[in-house]
Amino acid sequence: MTSSPDCNQPAGQAEALLAHLRRLTDLDAPTGFEEPVLRYMSEQLGSFCEQVEHDVRGNVYASLAGTTADALRIMITAHADEIGFLVTSVLADGFLRFTRLGHPTEMVLPGQRVRVHTASGSLEGVIGVKPGHVLAASEARTVPPVSEQYIDIGATSQAEAVEWGIEPGTPVTFHGPLTATAHPQRYFGKAVDNRAGCACLLELAKRLRQKRPEAHLEFVVVVEEEIGLRGAEVATRRVQPDVVIAIDTVPSGGTPDLRPDELPWQIGGGPLLKVRETKGLSTHGPLRNLFRRVADEQGIPYQLIVDTAGITDATSAQQASGDVAAMTIGLARRYSHSAAELFDLRDVSAIVDLIAHTCGAIASRDQLLRT
C-alpha cells in the first residue's frame, strides 16, 4: 500500500466536505427519526442527480446514468442515523428515564449533555451524575446501568415535563457540535458516524456528474443501520446493483489505552479497506484488489483492516442479493459512539478520491469474477 500523506484532490473538495459535515452533524437524527438528514440529503443530491426517490422505509435513492447503456450498476451507500436514546418514562419530579437507541458508549454517559427532541422543538438536558462528594468508593469506580440513569431537563415536575412535550418514545441525542482541534485537519463531534459518509456521498455525486463513468450510479442514503443494518437490505433488493460500496466509520487505534496490535490503523493514514468484518462481511476479493490497484495508481494512501468489532451495511447488502460484489470503505475515527468522535479531514477527502477513481475503473462483470 502507498504511504503518501497527500493526493491530488480537486480544488475546494476538503472545504466542501467540511461545510457539509458541519451542517450534517448539527442535525439530530437518531435511528427511527432520520428525517432531518434524509431531507437535507434529498435536497442536496437533487442538485447533482437526475432522479431522487424515496421508499416507505425512509431510504433515499439518487440516480446518475453512466455513459454506456448496458453498463454495470454501482450502489454507493451511507447511513443517515446516529446512535441515541429514547425516553421511557417521566418521573414525578420531572426527571426522565431512558433506554439506548443503538449502542452509545455507556461509560461516557453520566454528566453528558444531551438534546431531547419534542414535536415542538429540542430541549437541552444532562444525564445526571451523583455528586462525587457522597459517592462510595465502589460507586466511584463503576458506571450505573442505563436503567438507573436519568436525564435532567430542568423540569420541576412530571406535569411540567409533559407540558414541554416529553412523552415515552421521545428521542434524545448527544450534544456535541463539530469542533476544530489545533491540528488544521482534525475535528471532533457527535454523529461523525456516519454523517462523514453522507458528506462523501454528496461530494461524489457532484464530482461524478462532472466526469461520468461508464457505470450507472445509485447514491443511497439508508436508515436503521445502528439497529441491524436494516435499510441497506431493503435498498439492495430494490436497486439490484452489481457492486455495492458502503461508506462508514470504523474505530481506530493510536491512543494510549490500546495496544498497537489491537486496532493497527489510525486516523490520518488514509481510507480503510476492509478485508473481513467480525460476524459480518468478507469483502469481495476482486473488488478489493481493484480498489488497491486504483489507490496505488493514484497515489492515495490506504490501510487494510481485519476483524473490527462492528459490521456495516455492506454485510446486509451482500446477503440481500446473491449476485453482488460488496466492499466497505471506512473512515478511521476515535471515541466511537460518543459525543466527541475525532477524525482527520484528509481521510474523508481521500475516500472521495478513491471511490471516484474506482467507479471510473469498473467497466465489466469480468473484473468481478472470482476465477
Structural domains in the chain plus CATH codes: 13-82+190-368 (3.40.630.10), 84-174 (2.40.30.40)
CA gap 295, 48 in Å, rounded? 25
Burial 267-281 (b: 16+ CB within 10 A, else e): bbbbbbbbeebeebb
Identify the bridge partners of residue 124 per DSSP, sorted by sequence position. 115
What angle (nearest 5°) sits at the alpha carbon of residue 36, between those of residues 34 and 40? 115
CA distances from 52 to 49, 60, 87, 155, 257 (A): 7, 7, 34, 43, 44
pTM recorded for the entire structure: 0.93
* Neighbour order of strands in the sheet with 216-222: 51-54, 60-64, 216-222, 73-79, 243-251, 325-333, 272-277, 303-308
Residues 6+ apart with CB under 8 A from 181: 187, 188, 342
Give Dmax (Cα) for the chain.
71
* Neighbour order of strands in the sheet with 179-180: 179-180, 186-189, 341-344
Reported as a single tens digit per residue, the pLDDT across 324-348 is 999 999 999 999 999 999 999 999 9
Binding residues for Zn(2+): 79, 193, 226, 248, 337
Helix (H, G, I), strand (E, B) or coil at 255: coil
CA neighbours closer than 13 Å in the CB half-sphere of residue 6: 5
Identify the bridge partners of residue 276 per DSSP, sorted by sequence position. 282, 306
Rg (CA), the chain: 21
Reported as a single tens digit per residue, the pLDDT across 347-357 is 999 999 999 99
- Catalytic choice (34, 203, 224, 225): 225
CA gap 330, 226 in Å, rounded? 16
Reported as a single tens digit per residue, the pLDDT across 36-59 is 999 999 999 999 999 999 999 999
Residue 1 has pLDDT above 60, yes or no: no
Region of poorest pLDDT, from 12-21, 122-131, 328-337: 122-131
**Is 288 within 8 Å of 370 (Cβ atoms)?**
no
Catalytic annotation present for 34: no
Average pLDDT over residues 75-91: 97
Report pLDDT for 4: 42
Report pLDDT for 5: 44
- Alpha-carbon dihedral sign for residues 334, 340, 341, 342: negative
Burial 304-330 (b: 16+ CB within 10 A, else e): ebeebebbbbbbbbbbbbeebbbbbbb
Reported as a single tens digit per residue, the pLDDT across 168-177 is 999 999 999 9
Query: Average pLDDT, whole number, for the chain?
Result: 92
Reported as a single tens digit per residue, the pLDDT across 128-166 is 987 655 656 666 567 888 999 999 999 999 999 999 999
Grid cell, residue 79, equals 447511513
pLDDT over 90 percentage in the chain: 77
